[in-house]
Structure 1
Amino acid sequence: MKPMLIIACGALAREINALVAANGWQQVRVQCLPADLHNHPERIAGAVQDKLHEVDRGRERVFVAYADCGTGGRLDQVLAAHGVERLPGAHCYDFYAGEQVFAELAAAEPGTFYLTDFLARHFDRLVMRELGIDQHPQLAALYFGNYRRLLYLAQREDPVLMQAAERAAGLLGLAFEYRYTGYGDLHTSLLRFIEGEEKWPN
């Protein structure tokens, strides 16, 4: 059976490794690109392409655990050239909530700032420090003045992360809402790719 490689966004590392362990996928390995690429989407397609060039496709099948993630279709161009699939949707909120549900959430309140477990866990570093709000609190109104709510899309029911997400909403002056999504289409996409691959010949 041909081994499999998942090239993943570092922001999904914990969730993907949990799914690999829970499903007993021993033939799967995961390589994560830096989660900080989240803040530099223009670099994602090139980083994925560099990683794909390192893979021996005769020995491994590859799946890319990114959505479009702000690349404006550039990631899809890279993946099409290599014949590789990725996660569905425009971003991680899409595949966690499901595309239809996310579209309904966005339509109900366009001024929504979204958190996942990863972003709730690393909010201080990725938002407060990266945007300079920790040193200049007045920047929160500049960056988030058009937002009305913070919606935490939770992958796990974790009271510590819930508290962190509520705190984040307070720091940004936004109303707080919570929705448990679990792993959503992240799980179903990996199941389709990995379990489907098990039926293929070597």
Structure 2
Amino acid sequence: MTTQNPDPDRLTAEGVAPAGRGTILLLACGALAREILDLKARNRWDHIDLACLPAILHNHPEKITGAVRDAVVKHRDNYDAIHVVYADCGTGGLLQAACAEMGVEMVAGPHCYAFFDGLARFETRDDITAFYLTDFLVRQFDAFVWKPLGLDRHPDLRDLYFGHYETLVYLAQTDDPALTEKAREQAARLRLRFERRMTGYGDLETTLAGWAAAPV
């Protein structure tokens, strides 16, 4: 599907092809669609198009590398540059190797929690017992956490999955009281302490700004 003003909810659910009018393509995880669209609009990056892969790949990291590779091959003849808006995201270095092979850049870091928090800051934290949520995961908690883990059918599995966690850390991209309250409720459902950190877009914003300004 091609659209001039893509619906972020559809981007996150299905993946959307770019409008094809820019010189740079961001090939992104659908879980980052809202944030990228906001940054594009705010900075008037009209030379950048966005194509998102389905956000459900978040739950299937073994499929990410192949999906990204296929998308780069599909779109690369139409753009001067393609950048991959994924971190490693559980691929065990396979995505980085594939991007290096194809000559495309990707976002640095192990996952979106790290680049939203800021890699330098994240690396100093001792958060081994923290379970993270972003704005996207707060909105999509049931679809991406609760139901895939079977907790809607077998709540007794909570201890199996979350017994070693102590705190639910909500990394907030936006200052939204309604989302904060939802995150607090989700922490209570998991019987975890609640902590909110206002991160904004962190290293995602600085990375995209660098790509947007670079000559192609």
Q: 1:54 and 2:74 equivalent? A: yes
SS at structure 1 position matched to 2:171: strand
- Structure 1 residue 183: Cα displacement: 0.3
1:4 aligns with one of 20, 24, 29:
24
Asked if 1 retains the 8 angstrom alpha-carbon contact of 2:119 and 2:203, the reply is no
Q: Structure 1 runs of 4+ off > 6 angstroms?
A: none
- Structure 1 residue 136: Cα displacement: 1.1
Instruction: Mark the CA change 1:19 to 1:117 in structure 2 (over 3 Å): closer, same or farther.
Output: same
Q: 1:159 and 2:149 equivalent? A: no
**d(CA) in 2 for partners of 1:39, 1:9:** 12
- Aligned partner of 2:147 in structure 1 is 129
SS at structure 2 position matched to 1:5: strand
Asked if 1 retains the 8 angstrom alpha-carbon contact of 2:65 and 2:98, the reply is yes
- Structure 1 residue 181: Cα displacement: 0.3
Q: 1:118 and 2:136 equivalent? A: yes
2:42 aligns with one of 22, 28, 34:
22
- Aligned partner of 2:7 in structure 1 is none
Instruction: Mark the CA change 1:53 to 1:168 in structure 2 (over 3 Å): closer, same or farther.
Output: same
Instruction: Mark the CA change 1:98 to 1:24 in structure 2 (over 3 Å): closer, same or farther.
Output: same
Q: Deviations over 1:152-193 (max 9, x none)?
A: 000000011101110110010000001000000000000001
SS at structure 2 position matched to 1:55: helix
Q: Relative contact order, CA 8 A, sep 6+: which one is greater?
A: 1
Q: Deviations over 1:81-108 (max 9, x none)?
A: 1111011100001110111211223x1x
State the superposition RMSD in angstroms: 1.4
Query: Structure 1: which 5+ residue stretches go unaligned?
Result: none
**d(CA) in 2 for partners of 1:142, 1:66:** 29
Instruction: Mark the CA change 1:136 to 1:58 in structure 2 (over 3 Å): closer, same or farther.
Output: closer
Q: 1:144 and 2:162 equivalent? A: yes
- Normalised to the residue count of structure 1, the TM-score between the two structures is 0.93
Asked if 1 retains the 8 angstrom alpha-carbon contact of 2:88 and 2:95, the reply is yes
- Structure 1 residue 40: Cα displacement: 0.4
Q: 1:188 and 2:209 equivalent? A: no
Q: 1:78 and 2:123 equivalent? A: no
Query: Structure 2: which 5+ residue stretches go unaligned?
Result: 1-21
The amino acid that maps onto 1:72 is G
* Aligned pairs (5 A) from 1:78-117: 78-105=98-125, 107=126, 109-117=127-135
**d(CA) in 2 for partners of 1:118, 1:91:** 14
- Aligned partner of 1:63 in structure 2 is 83
- Normalised to the residue count of structure 2, the TM-score between the two structures is 0.87
Task: Give the share of equivalent positions with the same residue, in percent.
Answer: 49
SS at structure 1 position matched to 2:195: strand
- Structure 1 residue 58: Cα displacement: 6.4
Q: 1:170 and 2:188 equivalent? A: yes
